[in-house]
Chain A
Amino acid sequence: MTEVLVIGAGPAGMSAALELQARGFVTTVVDDQPAPGGRIFAAIEKRKLHSADDRIGAELVREFRRGGGHFLPETEVWQIEPGPRIFLTQDGLAKMLQPQFVLLATGAQERPMPFPGWELPGVMTIGGAQILLKTARQLPDRPVWLVGTGPLLLLYASQCIAAGGAVAGILDTTPPGRRTASIKHLPAALRYGWRDLLRGLSWLWRTQRLKIIRNVTAIEAIGTDRLAAVRYTTRAGLVGEIATELLFTHDGVVPGVHTTFSAGCMHRWNTIQKCFEPELDNYGASSNPTIFVSGDGGAINGARAAMLSGRLSGIGIARAAGILTTHDAERAAGPLRRELARASAFRRFIDVLYPPSELATSDSTVVCRCEEVTAGQVRLALRGRPNLGPNGVKIATRIGMGPCQGRQCGLSLTRLVAEAHGGGPDNIGFLNIRPPLKPLTLGELAALETNA
């Protein structure tokens, strides 16, 4: 019997596990959360279901609990070696697993949105605020300003209002002309997701009575030990200041590539979504044939597409293991690929409507929150050193050396290096990602050696 380790119990990981179990694999699924669901269906078993998507998620979690194989909650993977060999910790105990195949379904993270003062208490991400609402039923206790772009911003605004919270207003960083530009992608988007678009319109309708300041190009959070005000600049050069103690930010989501980079997978630069993503074949296999990737960790495409790509990777693993012939695998994959192509057409519409805002990063902006390295320090390190890449800047300034290991500064660093040298991000590359991916204690490491 072939063993598969699935990392991540979100829509992609759960769907893959169900497909793999149905095809006779012994499947273990690990997740860093206490229950399956991923970020999008976080704590879904304990929540009232508010939307059709919630119901799809709850049903998937039910099926996964019944037939998704062995589930290890609150388990963090801290090293992935080709082979594959996987090192993880559960309940303070470190273990090494050597499955035949690994499926990385580790999902997305929010695109870091650096601006002066983004590290002040009172500033947090909209994704974080939404997790607080989903998992802890927590709402801001005073009116909140939202800044950024993208569907999640509108979704959170309407969820917050519906739950009784107060949204003071939105500082919209979406560049102008996006609606016009997106129209040609609308027919294809409607074919896949007219329900999603209707839902999106309801968010727009619910938020349209809010104060919205459009065409914002720069933001500054002001305060000494906590947020007191936010200063903004618009494309027309208008500068304003708003007193507020809460500011939630969002600039879309990007694949969480720390896992795939550390596993040694090849990556490419996505010029539209402006992020790195692993290079995958049409079954989700990475450049290492025993490591598969599905869901938003492979490419940002949303929860329903993640479910399809999880199943597709399950079929791909069955083919790679010799359980399915290529002919049978292609037949099983066909309908999933067609639906995924429709999902990608929907995504193109969203990408054109809400491109990454990538606000200008002034010299005083702390780009590395951990080591408190500013954009100015990075630019200074790069001056006159045309061969210095992200790793060289890291050595020169300590950017990316703190506990988050560059999860909050990696993309900004690539962007600053590209800006200085004039190259494309694909030539600049990303920080080297080194183990351990998550912190572990010497005690955990020592216990692992004793057990081995």
Chain B
Amino acid sequence: MFHKLSPETATRPVTISVDGVTVEVEEGESVAAILLRTPPFTARTTPVSGAARAPYCMMGVCFDCLIEIGGATSIRACMTRARDGMAVRRQLGRPAPPDINL
């Protein structure tokens, strides 16, 4: 859906995975931006109807870009910065309750 222009200032490339597929990205860029240029360009499916949703507002207010990172669920991709080794999964329907480990 989107493509990326060349950087205006120095950036550091890092590697993350999206649904197990390795993607090279810029350190610190929003994960929602990455999803919008990585097929199938969506973030989640809804718990109610199972419809696909993509990042919509990019500013933390719509909660349509919910993803899972390292087992943590319902994380807003637009408010999450890419860090090296991050394992991102698209969230499918209602997430299973996490193992509570206080």
Residues of A within 8 A of B (CB): 32, 34, 39, 46-48, 74, 76, 109-110, 119, 121-125, 127-129, 131-132, 135-142, 163-164, 225-226, 245-246, 256, 369-372, 402-404, 407-408, 438-439, 441-443, 446
Contacts and interface: CB of A to CB of B under 8 A. Distances in A.
A163 B37 CA distance: 17
10 contacts: A46-B9, A124-B58, A138-B3, A139-B5, A140-B1, A370-B46, A403-B63, A403-B74, A404-B64, A439-B74
Interface of B: 1-9, 26, 28-30, 33, 36-37, 41-42, 46, 48-49, 51-64, 66, 72, 74, 79, 81, 100-102
Of all A-B residue pairs in the complex, the 6 with the closest CB atoms, nearest first, are A128-B58, A121-B54, A136-B33, A403-B63, A404-B63, A137-B5
A interface majority secondary structure: loop
Nearest to B2: A138
B49 to A, nearest CB: 6
A214 to B, nearest CB: 26
Nearest to A245: B1
B59 A128 contact: yes
A249 B43 CA distance: 19
A131 B59 contact: yes
B4 A136 contact: yes
Interface centre among B26, B61, B66 (most CB of A within 10 A): B61
Contacts of B64: 119, 369, 404
A125 B64 CA distance: 12
Contact of B62 (A74, A129, A404, A438): A404
Contacts, number: 127
A245 B39 CA distance: 14
Interface centre among A121, A124, A372, A402 (most CB of B within 10 A): A121
A128 B66 CA distance: 16
A372 B49 contact: yes
Contact of A48 (B8, B26, B41): B8
Interface centre among A122, A129, A140, A369 (most CB of B within 10 A): A369
Nearest to A137: B5
A238 to B, nearest CB: 29
B interface majority secondary structure: loop
Contacts of A140: 1-2
A32 B42 CA distance: 23
Interface centre among B30, B48, B58 (most CB of A within 10 A): B58
Contacts of A129: 58
A163 B6 CA distance: 11
A441 B72 contact: yes
Nearest to A74: B81
A32 B7 CA distance: 23
A74 to B, nearest CB: 7
A143 to B, nearest CB: 12
Given A109-B59, A122-B54, A136-B30, A163 B101 contact: no
B8 A443 contact: no
B84 to A, nearest CB: 16
Contact of B55 (A47, A128, A135): A128
Contact of B61 (A122, A164, A404): A404
Nearest to B5: A137
Contact of A135 (B29, B41, B46, B101): B29
B54 A124 contact: yes
A163 B100 CA distance: 47
Given A119-B53, A121-B41, A136-B29, A127 B58 contact: yes
B56 A128 contact: yes
A121 B53 contact: yes
B21 to A, nearest CB: 18
B56 A124 contact: yes
B54 to A, nearest CB: 4
A124 B33 CA distance: 12
A132 B74 contact: no
B52 A125 contact: no
Interface centre among A138, A226, A403 (most CB of B within 10 A): A138
Given A46-B9, A245-B1, A439-B74, 15 more contacts: A76-B79, A109-B61, A119-B53, A121-B52, A122-B54, A124-B56, A139-B2, A163-B5, A226-B54, A370-B46, A370-B63, A371-B48, A407-B62, A408-B61, A443-B101
B48 to A, nearest CB: 4
Given A372-B48, A404-B62, A125 B56 contact: yes
Contacts of A34: 28, 81
Contacts of B55: 124, 128
B57 A138 contact: no
A51 B92 CA distance: 42
A167 to B, nearest CB: 14
A166 B26 CA distance: 24
